[in-house]
Amino acid sequence: MDLEQLVASMPFAVHTGVQLDSATSEEVVGHLDWDNHRTTAGNGMHGGALMTLADSVGAVCAFLNLPPGAGTSTTSSSTVFTRGVRKGTVTATARPLHAGRSTIAIVTELRDDEGRLVAQVTASQAVLSQAVLGP
């Protein structure tokens, strides 16, 4: 799959403006631009928008680490927000922490235009066999 196909497989990511910049099993990079409709009180980028970016980029990383024919489903996600974003672009970089037969753990860092950490997200995903996924 190319980058556009990977994003297109996640309609919510498309709807919210998530873009992928690069994707390998070792590292996935994507971004989301600040926009007024993605803000909360105080004009900061909404935490839900940031989580959408992190979850989408992390999901692609997990997908690229799956065995053939398997699927994945998030089982947990933990976020530490470190600063607000009031302009520019947030870049997410996801890397596998663990890619096993039954679980995949992904760490995603979100950074602002100045390279400052905005949030860190650690997500765990179950590896689902074709039998669980169905036809």
Residue 117: both structure tokens together = 């950490």
How sure is the predictor about 77, in pLDDT bands with cuts at 50, 70 and 90?
very high
Which H or E run contains 37?
none
**108 and 120 Cβ atoms separated by less than 8 Å:** yes
pLDDT at position 22 is 97
Q: What is the pLDDT of residues 105-130, one digit of tens each?
A: 999 999 999 999 999 999 999 999 86
> Once rounded to an integer, what is the mean pLDDT over residues 36-61?
96
pLDDT at position 129 is 83
Q: What is the pLDDT of residues 86-100, one digit of tens each?
A: 999 999 999 999 999
Q: What is the pLDDT of residues 1-25, one digit of tens each?
A: 799 999 999 999 999 999 999 999 9
